[in-house]
C-alpha cells in the first residue's frame, strides 16, 4: 500500500473513532443516510407518505408554503396520534425576499373556561380532567392556520392541496409497527369514548396491527367540506355544528361562538445570534424560541467546541443554562395578549453573561433547583406533537410544529367528523406551582382564562448564515422540544457534525423541576456519568427524546440535505 493511501486510511480510522466517541455505537449505527435534493426542494416530516405529498407539490411548481399545507393535512390522516385538524400550533415562514414571519394558530381556551376548572372543592387538581375527555379541549386552530398561511404566501388552491389527504383517508393506509403500538398503548383511554373506539379500532374492539389498513370515511368527508368551503366550514359550517353537538352531549365547553371567533395571529419571531449565525424562532405564547436563544447566549461565553460534545464539562454548562431558562419560563412566559412577557430582557446577552458568571463562580458544581429562581429583576407543556420542515428552490422555507398535546389528544373524537380533539388545556397552569403531565411547573402568567392561548414549548426554528437560508429544524417532545432543538443546533455549529450526525446524537435534558438531568440510555459513557454525579447531579435514564425533522442547505452548492430522526418516540 502506498504511503498516501496508508495516511488516508489512518485518517479515516481516526475520524471514525472520534465519531464513535461523540455518538455511542448503538445510535451511530442507526444514523440514516441523509436525503439529498438538488432540484425543487425538500420535505422532511415524520411520515414518508406526507413527505411524498409535499415533494409532489414542489415538483408541480408549488412553493414551500403550498407544500407545508398539503403535508399538514396529510399528517392529519396518516399520523393520527399527533397530526391533526383538531389541534393547533405554530409556523415560521421565511420568504425568498429575506423576510421571516411567525404564524400562531395555537388553540384557545373556551370563553367558559375558568382558572379553577380542574380543581375539586378542596382546591386540589382532579387527576386526568385536563388531559382526557371533552373538557380538556381548547378551540382548534390548525384549519384556520393552514388557510391563513396559504392565503398570505401560497400559490396553489386549497382544494387541490387537500386531494391526497382526502383520497388516503377514504382508501386507507397501512399502519407502521410503531403506529400499531401506540393504539395498543392508548387503547384503554381511547375506548372510554364510543366514537373514538368506532373510528380507530376494529368492530370487536381489537387494535389494528402492523400493515393493516385504517380507513377514515368521516374524516374524508370533513376534509372534502374544508376543500370546498375553506375554514368557514370548520368554524361556522357543518363541521362546527358537529363539534358543538358533541360538546353539548358530553359536557364540553367549546361553543359555536368560540369557533366563530377563533383567529390566528401573525407575530414577529424572536431573533438572536450564535457564533455568526442568525437564530430565528417562535415567539410567545411559545416559550421555545426565547429560551433556545437565552441558552445559546449563555453557551456563547464558553469554548464549547473544545469542551467536546457530551463531555461532562459541556453537559454541566448546558444543564445549568437550561435550569435557569426553565425557571424563567415558569415565572414569565404566557400569552402576550394577557401578560407582559419580557422577551427582550430574557434574550439579552448581558443577562446571559450574568448567568454564565454564576455558573463559573459555582466551580463545577450543580446549582440545586431550589436555589434557582427567575433571574430577571422584574415585577411580577405535550409529547405528542409533530414537526415538519420544508425548503424550496425558490428560497422559501417553512418550519411547522403542531400538536394535539398528549398521544391522540384528549382521546375524544368528534362524532360524524372523524377527528380527535386536543387536550391542550393541560398546557395551562392548571394550578400554579403544580406540575403538568410533562413535569413542567407554571405560574400565574399561564393560568387558565377564557380566550387565552396556553404556553407552549414548540420551537419551529430557521437559521441563516450571512443572510442566506441555512437550516430548518424542529421537534415534538413537550418541554423537551427546547433542549432537543438546542442540541441539534449546537451539534451542527459547535461540533461541526453533519446534519444526520447532529440529529442522531444522544440527548440530555434539564428543565429546573424536577431537579434531574434526563438522559437517553446511550448518552453518557461511564466516566462522564461519574463526573456529573460528583458535581451533584441526579441522573435519570429514560426513553429516547424527540423526533427531529431538519433540512440543511449547503451554502456552497445550494443542495438540500434532510435528516430524519432514527428515534421512534412517537
> In whole angstroms, how far apart are CA 518 and each of 293, 382, 480?
21, 17, 10
With cut-offs at 50, 70 and 90, classify the pLDDT of residue 12: very low
The angle subtended at Cα 301 by Cα 300 and Cα 303, nearest 5°, is: 80
37 phi and psi, to 5 degrees? -145, 135
Number of neighbours of residue 9 by Cβ within 10 angstroms: 11
Number of neighbours of residue 529 by Cβ within 10 angstroms: 18
pLDDT for res 446 = 86
With cut-offs at 50, 70 and 90, classify the pLDDT of residue 253: very high
Write out pLDDT tens, residues 541-560: 998 999 999 999 999 999 99
471, 552 in Cβ contact below 8 A? yes
Closest-CA residue to 484 (of 470, 503, 464): 503
Residue 22 has pLDDT above 50, yes or no: no
Helix axes 217-229, 158-171, angle to 10 degrees: 170
With cut-offs at 50, 70 and 90, classify the pLDDT of residue 316: very high
pLDDT for res 162 = 98
Write out pLDDT tens, residues 150-190: 999 999 999 999 999 999 999 999 999 999 999 999 999 99
Instruction: Give the domain ranges of the chain.
Output: 3-30
> In whole angstroms, how far apart are CA 66 and each of 14, 93, 299?
45, 12, 37
Alpha helical stretches, state H, 300-411: 304-307, 312-332, 343-346, 349-361
**Rounded to a whole number, what is the largest CA-CA distance in the chain?**
82
47, 569 in Cβ contact below 8 A? no
Distance from the Cα of residue 286 to its chain's centroid: 10
Residue 569 has pLDDT above 70, yes or no: no
Write out pLDDT tens, residues 324-379: 999 999 889 999 999 999 999 999 999 999 999 999 999 899 999 989 887 665 43
Q: How far apart are CA 223 and CA 75, in angstroms?
A: 12
202, 208 in Cβ contact below 8 A? yes
**Of 38-52, 118-132, 144-158, 376-390, where does mean pLDDT reach its minimum?**
376-390
Write out pLDDT tens, residues 31-69: 878 899 889 999 999 999 999 999 999 999 999 999 999
Number of neighbours of residue 185 by Cβ within 10 angstroms: 14
Count each helix (H run) and each strand (E run) in the chain, helices first: 21, 18
Cβ contacts of 17 within 8 Å, gap of 6 or more: none
Question: How does the average pLDDT of the chain come out, rounded?
Answer: 91
Q: How far apart are CA 46 and CA 366, in angstroms?
A: 36
Q: What value does the mean pLDDT take over residues 215-231?
A: 98
Residue 16 has pLDDT above 60, yes or no: no
With cut-offs at 50, 70 and 90, classify the pLDDT of residue 429: confident
86, 414 in Cβ contact below 8 A? yes
pLDDT for res 348 = 98
Helix axes 158-171, 142-153, angle to 10 degrees: 140
Cβ contacts of 23 within 8 Å, gap of 6 or more: 31, 501, 504, 505, 506
- Calculated CA dihedral for residues 442, 443, 445, 446, nearest 10 degrees: 40
With cut-offs at 50, 70 and 90, classify the pLDDT of residue 21: very low
Residue 18 has pLDDT above 60, yes or no: no
> In whole angstroms, how far apart are CA 156 and each of 260, 264, 381, 386, 402?
25, 21, 34, 24, 22
Cβ contacts of 333 within 8 Å, gap of 6 or more: 284, 285, 287, 290, 341, 445, 446, 455
Torsion sign (Cα): 452, 453, 454, 455: negative
Task: Answer with the residue of higher pLDDT: 444 or 81.
Answer: 81
pLDDT for res 433 = 58
Alpha helical stretches, state H, 456-498: 480-493
Active site annotation includes 386: no
Closest-CA residue to 410 (of 569, 251, 546): 251
Q: What value does the mean pLDDT take over residues 134-138?
A: 96
Pull the grid cell for residue 205.
374492539
Residue 432 has pLDDT above 80, yes or no: no
Residue 436 has pLDDT above 90, yes or no: no
Q: Running DSSP on this structure, what letter comes out for residue 430?
A: S
Look up cell 454548562; give the residue. 317
273-297 burial, b if ≥16 CB within 10 A, otherwise e? ebeebbbbbbbbbbbbbbbbbbbbb
With cut-offs at 50, 70 and 90, classify the pLDDT of residue 309: very high
Q: How far apart are CA 256 and CA 237, in angstroms?
A: 10
Number of neighbours of residue 435 by Cβ within 10 angstroms: 18
pLDDT for res 382 = 54
520, 315 in Cβ contact below 8 A? no
Of 385, 386, 407, 479, the active-site residue reads 385
DSSP per-residue codes, 444-462: GGGB--TTPPPPB----EE
Rg (CA), the chain: 23
pLDDT for res 478 = 86
Q: What value does the mean pLDDT take over residues 487-495?
A: 98
Number of neighbours of residue 428 by Cβ within 10 angstroms: 28
Torsion sign (Cα): 122, 124, 126, 127: negative
525, 308 in Cβ contact below 8 A? no
Q: What value does the mean pLDDT take over residues 74-85?
A: 96
Write out pLDDT tens, residues 285-305: 999 999 999 999 999 999 999
397-425 burial, b if ≥16 CB within 10 A, otherwise e? bbbbbbbbbbbbbbbbbbbbbbbbbbbbb
Closest-CA residue to 460 (of 60, 24, 93, 59): 93
For the chain, what percent of residues have pLDDT higher than 90?
A: 81
* Pairing mode of beta strands 539-542, 517-520: parallel
494, 305 in Cβ contact below 8 A? yes
Amino acid at each position: 500500500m502506498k504511503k498516501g493511501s496508508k495516511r488516508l486510511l489512518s485518517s479515516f480510522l481516526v475520524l471514525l473513532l472520534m465519531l464513535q466517541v461523540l455518538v455511542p455505537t448503538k445510535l451511530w449505527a442507526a444514523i440514516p443516510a441523509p436525503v439529498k435534493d438538488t432540484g425543487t426542494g425538500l420535505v422532511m416530516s415524520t411520515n414518508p407518505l406526507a413527505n411524498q405529498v409535499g415533494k409532489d407539490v414542489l415538483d408541480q411548481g408549488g412553493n414551500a408554503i403550498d407544500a407545508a399545507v398539503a403535508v399538514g393535512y396529510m399528517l392529519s390522516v396518516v399520523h393520527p396520534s399527533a397530526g391533526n385538524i383538531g389541534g393547533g400550533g405554530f409556523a415560521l415562514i421565511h420568504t425568498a425576499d429575506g423576510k421571516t414571519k411567525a404564524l400562531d394558530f395555537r388553540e384557545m381556551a373556551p370563553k367558559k373556561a375558568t382558572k379553577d376548572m380542574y380543581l375539586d372543592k378542596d382546591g386540589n387538581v382532579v387527576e386526568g380532567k385536563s388531559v382526557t375527555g371533552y373538557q380538556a379541549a381548547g378551540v382548534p386552530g390548525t384549519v384556520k392556520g393552514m388557510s391563513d398561511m396559504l392565503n398570505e404566501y401560497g400559490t396553489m388552491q386549497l382544494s387541490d392541496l387537500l386531494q391526497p389527504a382526502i383520497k388516503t383517508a377514504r382508501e386507507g393506509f397501512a399502519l407502521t409497527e410503531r403506529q400499531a403500538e401506540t393504539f395498543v398503548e392508548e387503547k384503554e383511554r381511547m375506548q372510554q369514548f364510543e366514537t373514538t373506539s368506532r373510528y380507530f379500532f376494529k368492530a370487536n374492539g381489537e387494535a389494528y396491527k402492523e400493515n393493516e389498513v385504517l380507513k377514515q370515511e368521516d374524516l374524508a368527508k370533513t376534509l372534502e367540506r374544508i376543500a370546498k368551503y375553506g375554514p368557514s366550514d370548520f368554524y361556522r359550517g357543518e363541521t362546527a355544528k358537529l363539534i358543538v353537538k358533541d360538546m353539548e352531549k358530553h359536557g364540553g365547553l367549546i361553543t359555536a361562538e368560540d369557533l366563530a371567533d377563533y383567529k390566528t395571529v401573525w407575530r414577529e419571531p424572536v431573533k438572536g445570534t450564535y457564533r455568526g449565525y442568525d437564530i430565528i424562532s417562535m415567539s410567545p405564547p411559545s416559550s421555545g424560541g426565547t429560551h433556545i436563544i437565552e441558552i445559546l447566549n449563555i453557551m456563547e461565553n464558553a469554548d464549547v467546541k473544545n469542551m467536546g460534545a457530551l463531555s461532562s464539562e459541556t453537559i454541566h454548562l448546558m444543564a445549568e443554562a437550561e435550569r435557569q431558562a426553565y425557571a424563567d419560563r415558569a415565572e414569565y412566559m404566557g400569552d402576550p395578549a394577557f401578560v407582559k412577557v419580557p422577551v427582550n430582557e430574557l434574550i439579552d446577552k448581558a443577562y446571559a453573561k450574568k448567568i454564565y458568571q454564576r455558573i463559573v463562580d459555582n466551580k463545577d458544581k450543580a446549582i440545586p433547583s431550589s436555589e434557582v429562581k427567575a433571574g430577571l429583576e422584574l415585577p411580577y407543556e405535550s409529547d405528542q406533537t409533530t414537526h415538519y420542515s420544508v425548503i424550496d428552490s425558490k428560497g422559501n422555507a417553512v418550519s411547522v410544529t403542531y400538536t394535539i398535546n398528549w398521544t391522540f389528544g384528549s382521546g375524544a373524537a368528534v362524532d360524524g367528523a372523524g377527528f380527535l380533539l386536543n387536550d391542550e388545556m393541560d398546557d395551562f397552569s392548571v394550578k400554579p406551582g403544580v406540575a403538568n403531565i410533562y413535569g413542567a411547573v407554571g405560574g400565574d402568567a399561564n393560568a387558565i382564562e377564557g380566550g387565552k392561548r396556553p404556553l407552549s414549548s414548540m420551537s419551529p426554528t430557521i437559521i441563516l448564515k450571512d443572510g442566506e437560508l441555512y437550516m430548518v429544524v424542529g421537534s415534538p417532545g413537550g418541554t423537551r422540544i427546547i433542549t432537543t432543538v438546542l442540541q441539534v443546533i449546537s451539534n451542527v455549529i459547535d461540533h461541526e457534525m453533519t446534519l444526520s450526525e447532529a440529529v442522531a446524537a444522544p440527548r440530555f435534558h434539564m428543565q429546573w423541576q424536577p431537579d434531574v438531568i434526563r438522559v437517553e440510555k446511550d448518552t453518557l459513557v461511564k466516566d462522564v456519568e461519574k463526573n456529573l454525579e460528583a458535581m451533584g447531579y441526579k441522573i435519570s435514564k429514560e426513553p429516547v427524546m424527540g423526533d427531529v425533522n431538519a433540512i440543511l442547505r449547503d451554502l456552497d452548492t445550494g443542495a438540500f440535505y434532510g435528516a430524519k430522526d432514527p428515534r421512534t418516540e412517537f
